Amino acid sequence: MPPGKYKAAERWAYTPETKAFRASVSSVAGGIRWYSTPGWMAEVLTWRKTRAEGERDDAFAYRRIGPDEMQIEWSVDRTGSGLEPGDKLVCRRKI
């Protein structure tokens, strides 16, 4: 894969008994990362990483822009001082 490219498989699940949302992300870099979310807060769904010891924090925020448009923003803690923007993209439904 060329530098700067990212490819991953992501799976979302909901457990009614615990009312918990979880996601797993496995990328070509190897390993699986786990995320959780309380659900939609207004127009934003934010998945926060469930970190293991020594891992850096990161999150994915899915923001509804309109009925056919969504923005996905990845934030990461590179320095230990909190999340900062890492990357974002806008998805548009074609009808």
pTM over 0.75: yes
What span, in angstroms and rounded, lies between the C-alpha atoms of 71 and 43?
11
Nearest of 37, 35, 30, 61 to residue 49 by alpha carbon: 35
Counting Cα atoms < 13 Å in the Cβ hemisphere of 29 gives 10
Contacts 24+ apart (CB under 8 A), 16-21: none
Q: Which two tokens stand for residue 21?
A: 């949302």
Q: What is the pLDDT of residues 70-95, one digit of tens each?
A: 999 999 999 888 999 999 999 999 87
What span, in angstroms and rounded, lies between the C-alpha atoms of 74 and 31?
18
pLDDT at 30 over 90: no
